[in-house]
Amino acid sequence: MLKRVVYFSSPAYLSVKLGQLVVELKHPSDLPKIQMPKAIRYGKSEVAEEKIVEYQLNMEDLGMIVLDHAQITLTQSILKKCAEYNILLLSCDDKHNPSLMGMSMEGHTLQSKRHRSQILANVPMKKQLWASTVQNKIVNQAIIGSNDRVLYDRLIFLSKSVRSGDSSNVEGQAAAIYWDRIFTHIDKHFVRGRYDDAINSFLNYGYAILRATMAKAVVASGLIPSLGIHHHNQYNAFCLVDDLMEPYRPMVDRLVLDLLDQGSMELDTEAKRQLLNIPYIDTDFDDIKSPLMVAVHRTAQSFVNCLEKKSKKILYPKPCLND
C-alpha cells in the first residue's frame, strides 16, 4: 500500500491516541495537506466549542510528515510511533526548506550483516556500480530532454562513453550540456546551483524531498547511509543516499518543468504541495509502472544484492513521460 505524505504549514499540536495521529488546530482552514494517490479525503475532523479543530490520521498509513511552521508542537509519542512505523519526519528551516530528517535507526532485521557487507565492498565493484549509476542518470536526463533532439543525441552518445568509476567525469560533461539547454525556454540565463531564483528554488526543494525518500529506503534496507560507493565527504551523513538518488534527479526535473510551464514561478505553499507528490511520481521498470517511493526501495535492495554477490548491477527505473 502506498504511504501518505502529510504537510503542516500552520500552528498545530501533534500527539498520539490509540495509534492515531491527533492534530489539534485553531481553525478548519489550517487542516494539513495530505498527499495521497486517487483518494479525496482521509481521517475525520470535528470542531469543539473552543473552536479547536481535531484531525485524526492512522499512523500506519503515513510515510512522511513534513513540519513547515515554527509553532508546531509534537509529543515524544509521535517520535516513538514514527520509529515504530518507519515514518520519515522532515522539519523545515526559516526559509521553508527541509533541514532536519528523522527516521528509525533500526531499518532491517539483517542490518548488522548488511553493514559488514557494505564495509567490505571492494573498490573495483564500487567503481563499476558508480559507472552504471552515472550511465543511468545521463540516459534519464536524455529522456527528460527528448523534445530537444540535439540534447537527446548528445547525452545518449555521452552515456555510452562512461567507464569504471567515471574516470573521465562524463557525468560533469553531461551536466554542462543538460543544464545549458533544459530550462532555456523559461530562463535563457539559467545557471544551476544553490541560488534563490525560481528554478533553483524548485529544484533544491524537490531534491530535498527525493533525498529524504531515498534515505528512508536505504535505512529500511539495512544499509549505512553515510558509506557511499562514490560520494565520500566526511561531513556528509548520506553519501550512499546521494549516490543512489542520482538517476532519479531527472524525474524531479521533469516535475519542476511541468510546474514552471504551468506558470508557477514562486515556491509558495501550493508549489510545495505539488512537489510533495515526488514520492508518487510514476517510474518505469521494464515497461512496468512503479511509484517512486516503491522504486527507491527496489533500487536500495538491488544494491544489497550486489553486496551479497547475487547481482552485478543496481536497478534503476526510467522516467515515465506519458503520465
Residue with cell 548520506: 238
Grid coordinates representing 306 are 550486489
Q: DSSP strand E in the chain: where?
A: 4-8, 12-17, 20-25, 33-35, 44-47, 53-58, 62-67, 72-74, 88-92, 98-102, 282-285, 288-291, 318-319
Residue type, 176: A
Rounded Cα–Cα distance for residues 71 and 27 (Å): 14
Grid coordinates representing 26 are 485553531
Rounded Cα–Cα distance for residues 47 and 72 (Å): 19
Rounded Cα–Cα distance for residues 23 and 141 (Å): 40
144: left (phi over 0), alpha (psi -120 to 50) or beta: alpha
Non-local (6+) Cβ contacts of 26 within 8 A are 11, 51, 52, 53
* Contact status, residue 7 vs residue 67, Cβ threshold 8 Å: no
Bridge partners for 57 per DSSP: 21
Grid coordinates representing 305 are 544484492
Helix (H, G, I), strand (E, B) or coil at 288: strand
* Contact status, residue 222 vs residue 228, Cβ threshold 8 Å: no
Grid coordinates representing 193 are 546551483
Residue 183 phi, psi dihedral angles, 5° rounding: -115, 15
| pLDDT string in tens for the chain (323-residue length) | 688 889 888 889 999 998 899 998 876 555 565 554 432 233 333 333 445 678 888 999 998 999 998 999 999 999 999 988 889 999 988 878 888 888 877 766 677 888 999 999 999 999 999 999 999 999 999 999 999 999 999 999 999 999 999 999 999 999 999 999 999 889 988 999 877 789 999 999 999 999 999 999 998 899 999 999 998 888 788 999 999 999 999 999 999 999 999 988 899 888 998 999 999 999 999 889 999 999 999 999 999 999 999 999 999 999 998 64
Q: What is the DSSP string of 8-19?
A: E-S-EEEEEETT
Q: All domains of the chain, ordered by start, with CATH? A: 4-102 (3.100.10.20), 111-319 (1.20.120.920)
Residue type, 202: F
Neighbours of 97 (CB within 10 A): 15
Rounded Cα–Cα distance for residues 242 and 237 (Å): 10
pLDDT of residue 78: 93
Residue 262 phi, psi dihedral angles, 5° rounding: -85, 0
Residue 21 phi, psi dihedral angles, 5° rounding: -80, 115
Grid coordinates representing 131 are 559507472
Name the CA dihedral angle for 133, 138, 141, 142, rounded to a multiple of 10 degrees: -140
What's the pTM? 0.85
Rounded Cα–Cα distance for residues 167 and 129 (Å): 13
